[in-house]
Amino acid sequence: MAKFLAPQLPTMVNPFDRNGYLGANSPSMPYKPWRPQPTPQPTPQPTRPAPQPQQPPVIVDNGFAAQQAYLDRLIALQNEQRERERQERERIKQERIAAANRVYDSGVGKLNNATLDAQRQAYIKRMQDENSMEQQLQAMGVSGGASESTLAGIKTAYGNNRADIEQAKLNELGALERAKLDAISAAEADQANANIAADRDYTKGLIQTYASFIPKPTATRVVSGGSSRGGSNNNITSTAAYKRALGLYNSDSTAQEIANELERQGNNEATIAQILGSLGLL
């Protein structure tokens, strides 16, 4: 009787280690028990110091700032007045130009009406002359070439009348055009002259305003000859205008009075300013 042999089963490998871990915690790896990881905390940002309120600058008022502000205000008022006057002069010029255009347009309209009326009267006269001439010729028994020649003369006279009417219209139209252009040119010239005078007055006003803020010189005045304080100019101090200004200066005249006298003598603004600067008044 044969001996029964039990079949050999393949050896099974247990994937779990002795502690029940799988994979990385197998017997071939060192044992790493699980521990809870600490929660990462946000990195604190560096704190900045709170901004300090800015302190206003310390201004030492010695009176100059107030005077400068007052001077600036005076000059601003003068500039505003100058602009208002300029706008008023511009308005007046535009009104005069508009009036010239209205007169021209009205004249042209009347001229056209008069021309049409004259042409109408010339045509009526032609027709009357033709009718009258035909009646006269018929009464005299004239016909043929003589009649046609007489009627042609009437037509020629009518054409001449029309030409005279058109020429008179052109002449009158040219006169209206010249009158309009003359009126516009006069308005523009008046505005230009007014602007020049206003600019001159404005410059005088500025000189007077600045001079009112400049103290009178306290240095010893010169009785005759020599030079005054304030840095003389050899080119200007040798002129008669400077000597006249120096005499007024030694007589306690103001800068505006000296400027007016120099302008009356025919000196320009640049010369006046140079003389006033040599005297220390600018």
Q: In this predicted structure, what is the pLDDT of residue 180?
A: 95
The HSE-up count of residue 140 (CA atoms within 13 Å, CB side) is: 10
Q: In this predicted structure, what is the pLDDT of residue 218?
A: 42
Q: Quick one: average pLDDT of 247-263?
A: 82
Q: Is the pLDDT of residue 24 over 80?
A: no
- Dump pLDDT digits (tens) for 41-69: 666 666 666 555 555 444 444 556 777 78
CB distance 282 to 210 below 8 Å: yes
Q: In this predicted structure, what is the pLDDT of residue 230?
A: 41
- Dump pLDDT digits (tens) for 213-238: 665 444 334 333 444 444 444 456 55
Q: Quick one: average pLDDT of 256-265?
A: 85
Q: Is the pLDDT of residue 239 over 70?
A: yes
Q: Is the pLDDT of residue 73 over 80?
A: yes
- Dump pLDDT digits (tens) for 134-144: 777 677 766 65
Q: In this predicted structure, what is the pLDDT of residue 116?
A: 94
Q: Is the pLDDT of residue 178 over 80?
A: yes
Q: In this predicted structure, what is the pLDDT of residue 255?
A: 81
Average pLDDT along the chain: 75
> For residues 181 and 233, what is the distance between their CA atoms, to the nearest angstrom?
50
Q: Is the pLDDT of residue 11 over 80?
A: no
> For residues 152 and 133, what is the distance between their CA atoms, to the nearest angstrom?
11
Q: In this predicted structure, what is the pLDDT of residue 87?
A: 94
Count of other CB atoms within 10 angstroms of residue 132: 11
Which is more confident, 263 or 139? Answer: 263
**Residue 92 — very low, low, confident or very high, per pLDDT cuts 50/70/90?**
very high
> For residues 95 and 261, what is the distance between their CA atoms, to the nearest angstrom?
38
Q: Quick one: average pLDDT of 26-35?
A: 53
Q: In this predicted structure, what is the pLDDT of residue 52?
A: 59
Q: Is the pLDDT of residue 280 over 80?
A: no
pTM of the model: 0.49
